A and B are shown apart, each in its own frame.
Chain A
Amino acid sequence: KQEVTQIPAALSVPEGENLVLNCSFTDSAIYNLQWFRQDPGKGLTSLLLIQSSQREQTSGRLNASLDKSSGRSTLYIAASQPGDSATYLCAVRLGTNAGKSTFGDGTTLTVKP
C-alpha cells in the first residue's frame, strides 16, 4: 500500500525567505506526482505535475523535484509572500492502479509579513 508523508506538518517563515517542503512515498511505481495548494475551506489548486520520467518542473517562483528511486519530492518556493500562506499537498498517482491517487497529510505554511 502506497504511503505518502509530508514533512514538516507546519511551517512559519518571514516574508522573503526561500523554503522547501518535502514529500516522501513508499512505492516508486508511480505515474506522476502532483503538488497542490489549498486555502481554508476551498478546493485544491494545481501547482505542478511531475511525470515519473521527469526530474523537475518549474512554474514562476515554484520548483518541484522528483527522485523516484529514493521516493522523494521537494517543492521549493522562492522569495515567499504572505499570499503563499496555505496548505500544500502532494499527491502520488499509482502506477499499479490507474485513477488512484494517494495524498500526503499536507504542510500548512504561514508566511509572516
Chain B
Amino acid sequence: DTEVTQTPKHLVMGMTNKKSLKCEQHMGHRAMYWYKQKAKKPPELMFVYSYEKLSINESVPSRFSPECPNSSLLNLHLHALQPEDSALYLCASSQSDRWDEAFFGQGTRLTVV
C-alpha cells in the first residue's frame, strides 16, 4: 500500500475562517511534507517533518500552521488566508528525508473567497 490520503478533496473558505487540512499515511514513513501548487506551476515545498519534528519551514507565512500529532498524521491549520493562497495543497511522505521514494496524496483544492 503506497497510499497517502488527504482530506478534504475540496475546500472553500472565507478570509476570516479557520480550517484544517489532513494527511494520513500508513506506510511507516518518518518524513512528511506539505507542498503548495499553483496552476501550471510545479509544487513548492512549504514544510518538512522528520520523525515528527519540523525540520524545514520554507519561510511560510504564519497563517499556515503545520502539526504532526503522530508518525502517521500531518495537519495544516489555516487561518486568515488571502485569496492568493488559493491553490492545490499536496501532502507527501517518504521513509526518510534523504534517500527514499516520495509518495504524494491527491491534494486538497483550496479556494479562499
Binding site for B on A (CB under 8 A): 31-32, 34, 36, 41-46, 49, 51, 89, 91, 93, 97-101, 103-106
Contacts and interface: CB of A to CB of B under 8 A. Distances in A.
The winner among B41, B55, B102 for most chain A CB atoms within 10 A is B102
Contacts of B98: 31, 93, 98-99
A105 B37 CA distance: 11
Interface of B: 2, 4, 6, 31, 33, 41-45, 48, 50, 55-56, 88, 90, 92, 97-107, 109
27 contacts: A31-B98, A32-B99, A36-B104, A41-B88, A41-B107, A42-B106, A43-B105, A43-B107, A46-B2, A46-B102, A49-B100, A91-B102, A93-B98, A97-B56, A98-B50, A98-B97, A99-B31, A99-B56, A99-B97, A99-B98, A100-B45, A100-B48, A100-B56, A101-B45, A101-B102, A105-B41, A106-B42
A99 B33 contact: yes
A49 B100 CA distance: 8
Contacts of A103: 42-44
